[in-house]
Structure 1
Amino acid sequence: MIFRPPRIAGWRRRLAPILGLLSAPLAVTAQTAPPLLRDSVVARLAELRRIHTPDGIELLEPVAIDGTTQWVSVRGKHRENPVIVMIHGGPGSPTMPMAWAYQSPWEDFFTVVHYDQRGVGKNAATADTAALTPTLTFNQLVRDAELMVGWVRAKLGVQRVVVMGYSYGTMIGMALAQRRPEWLHAYVGVGQVSGSGDAYLYQRLRMLAQAAGQRDAMRELDSIAPYPRPGAPVSTVLLTRKWARYFNGGWYGKPTFDLLFALPAWAPEYTAADVARQTAATQWTTRTLVGRDGATLPDSLAVPVVVMQGKHDLHTPYEPARAYVERLRAPHKAFITLEWSAHVPMLEEPGQFLQQLLTVVQPLTVRR
């Protein structure tokens, strides 16, 4: 029997590309810091992160993927370690320029790959957005991910990798796991999209606002009722995410993503010009993807599934994510709760996050 995953119906399909909007850092402008100060800080961070082991790998290079150039970072201290391929969210918000803030300890145990999806991040410098716009679909992003993992397998000489999807990237990662299960040790979801998060989010925000006596929140939330609804503008999604952050649902203990958005300014992988271009690239991606068909969530996967979810996450809400994973069929499943995290657990609880990678994910990479 051929399995056909359900489509995200109606408004949910249209909003799916922005469920994780702003989940990874948008760029700040090049004026965030004077150029000489930025150059000095970035040079020191680059040296601090330098891979010195004789069997390590540290690559940053452009790769030709289905008619586009997509920049890739590959970092790890030992080439025999298992490989994690990170698929970023947003859509159009790369994790590559924020990885400097949390990833170095991972590199003792894994080779970690980040790539900027078509037209965004470091790719924006040479991207012809007019030509790329017709190609920017969910299915094309899945195809790009497949080709990128194929490149990684050939470049590093490995048969299988761990695919880690983040926020909107969880949908891409799951679709890839359906398409190429033989290439994966496991699928790992971080900030897992559930397909039913927005309705839950709206009611949860109203409860939190009432309990806190937050009149501005109640007034703004009432102004977009009923939510979610077909044809609602993107501004309604942004408004709910603003209040999600206020109520600890973005980065626990921080009412905004200001710090998250600032991280790319110090990324050794990015030039100041790369940073300056990223905001427009993310906006282009979001405008283009909203309303385009193709995003699906599966009922089953043929690979082990591990979901690492912040308990306070309201960008991709925790409770619907947990319920979705409970329904999902897979040969092995683990749902890991990060107790004091929201939507960026690798930054909020980096030690706990790494511990789970080592105790839950790493054993899945050992062939039995």
Structure 2
Amino acid sequence: MLATIATVSAAALAAPVAGLLGYRQLKRAAFAGKLRITAPAGIEESGFVRIGGIDQWVSIRGEDRRNPVVLEILGGPGASNLVFLPRTRAWEKHFTIVRWDMRGAGFTFAAGGPQGQGELTHQQLYRDALEVTEHLRARLGVDRLLLVANSFGTVLGLRLARNHPELYSGYVGTDQNIIDGGRERTAYDALLARLRAAGRKKEKELAAAVAMGADRSKWTTRDVAEYNKLVLTSDPLSYDTMKTVVMRSLWFSPLHTLRGLRSYLKAMEFSERLQLEAAALDERAEGTDFRIPFFVFQGDSDVLTPPAPARRFFDDVTAPVKEFALIRDASHFASFRHPDRFLDLMLTHVRPAVTAQPAAR
């Protein structure tokens, strides 16, 4: 993912630098104003919390403390969701949203640097997530949180939802990853097909994809970065999303200075090792029985985490309530490309299931 962002960044920065920086400052100021929460019952706080032996950044935002509390599990790995705040501002009318920069990500990485992240493993992130959950239950006075996980965060999100129904009221996965112990190769095969269809223009890329093979357990971190780049840049909708959604959100983030953006990218590079560890996971072996409402909202044209494997896993899930929906005209980053459609799904399917009452529009 980092290689893809770097590729798109280089194209974006081809514009005259002075004009670009001036426009950036204007947009950041406008977004900062948009983000202010002034509702009497609202909450807007952020700062470091001691989690797992290190200081980790936690942001809590919402217009009404009585709303359901969402714990977002970021993707990447290492990609903080805080850059998407202006795009998802409307969500905060209906939910109190906690955005946690886990170790190896965002402001947590920026504060401690590579040496200050401690143990970066899936198991440690799992322990951290439970500690964050307990902190939020006490801080906000709620019994359970609603898990909303995107992209690589769904690996951790599934494990939390599966194992702790006493802590979470429901699970929502978007850009849902399905890691089947190396058996799942839908996205890889589709990549080869796109590159072959492109003919001689993509011969070099095709050779690189064939050389790395479909067995993720044999990949290096460089292979992971190259694979993500090939997948997202070989698909027009995905590449457009990288430019218009991801890069714009990074560049105009009111929370991030230019130095902060460099740190953001370094965090993703630092955290890429988590993808190698994840290659050995098997979601079905860990179980498809969930004792909380279970939802998957997937981009209908997602080429990085295709909807077909997510649907097959969903069909095997047993849960008290479950819903699967496709977000039209969306590849990866579906919830951020179409935040209005994602919110509509949250209000019509998820909120009634976790609160037993519909949300006011």
TM class by shorter chain equals 0.7 to 0.9
**Equivalent of residue 158 in structure 2, options 151, 166, 174:** 174
Counterpart of 1:342 in structure 2 is 331
Aligned residues: 343
Deviation readout 1:252-305 (Å, 9 max, x if unpaired):
571755751342232233344322212112111113663478845232222111
**Equivalent of residue 223 in structure 2, options 236, 261, 286:** 236
Residue 79 (1) aligns with residue 65 (2): yes
Q: For 1:1-368, what aligned pairs fall within 5 Å after superposition?
A: 21=1, 38-100=24-86, 102-130=87-115, 132-133=117-118, 135-196=119-180, 199-211=185-197, 213-225=198-210, 227-229=213-215, 230-248=217-235, 251-252=237-238, 254=240, 256-257=242-243, 259-287=245-273, 290-291=276-277, 295-297=281-283, 298-299=286-287, 300-367=289-356
**Distance in 2 of aligned mates of 1:356 and 1:339:** 12
Against the structure 1 CA distance between its residues 41 and 235, is the aligned structure 2 distance closer, same or farther, given a 3 Å change threshold? same
State TM-score, norm by structure 1: 0.83
**C-alpha RMSD of matched pairs (Å):** 2.9
Deviation readout 1:296-345 (Å, 9 max, x if unpaired):
52322221110010011111121111111111222221111112111111
Specify which structure has the higher proportion of helix: 2
**Distance in 2 of aligned mates of 1:247 and 1:254:** 11
Verify the 8 A CA contact 2:3 2:229 in the aligned structure 1: no
Instruction: Please state how far the C-alpha of 1:47 moved relative to its aligned partner.
Output: 1.3
Instruction: Please state how far the C-alpha of 1:364 moved relative to its aligned partner.
Output: 1.5
**Distance in 2 of aligned mates of 1:290 and 1:106:** 33
The one-letter code matched in structure 2 to 1:110 is: F
Instruction: Please state how far the C-alpha of 1:358 moved relative to its aligned partner.
Output: 0.5
**Distance in 1 of aligned mates of 2:208 and 2:73:** 35
Verify the 8 A CA contact 2:290 2:318 in the aligned structure 1: yes
The one-letter code matched in structure 2 to 1:70 is: Q
The one-letter code matched in structure 2 to 1:246 is: T
**Distance in 1 of aligned mates of 2:329 and 2:278:** 35
Secondary structure of 2:214 counterpart: coil
The one-letter code matched in structure 1 to 2:148 is: M
Deviation readout 1:212-235 (Å, 9 max, x if unpaired):
x34333542234426213423333
Verify the 8 A CA contact 2:220 2:276 in the aligned structure 1: no
Secondary structure of 1:290 counterpart: helix
Against the structure 1 CA distance between its residues 293 and 217, is the aligned structure 2 distance closer, same or farther, given a 3 Å change threshold? closer
Verify the 8 A CA contact 1:309 1:337 in the aligned structure 2: yes
Which structure is richer in relative contact order (CA contacts within 8 A, separation 6 or more)?
Answer: 1
Verify the 8 A CA contact 1:121 1:281 in the aligned structure 2: yes
* Stretch of structure 1 that moved more, 222-231 or 349-358: 222-231
Verify the 8 A CA contact 1:165 1:173 in the aligned structure 2: yes
* Structure 2 unaligned regions, length at least 5: none
Verify the 8 A CA contact 1:209 1:215 in the aligned structure 2: no
Counterpart of 1:5 in structure 2 is none
**Distance in 1 of aligned mates of 2:209 and 2:191:** 13
Counterpart of 1:16 in structure 2 is none
The one-letter code matched in structure 1 to 2:350 is: V
Instruction: Please state how far the C-alpha of 1:182 moved relative to its aligned partner.
Output: 1.0
The one-letter code matched in structure 2 to 1:119 is: G
Instruction: Please state how far the C-alpha of 1:109 moved relative to its aligned partner.
Output: 0.8
**Distance in 1 of aligned mates of 2:258 and 2:191:** 37
**Distance in 1 of aligned mates of 2:83 and 2:108:** 13
* Structure 1 unaligned regions, length at least 5: 1-20
Against the structure 1 CA distance between its residues 352 and 293, is the aligned structure 2 distance closer, same or farther, given a 3 Å change threshold? closer
Verify the 8 A CA contact 1:248 1:312 in the aligned structure 2: no
**Distance in 2 of aligned mates of 1:336 and 1:216:** 35
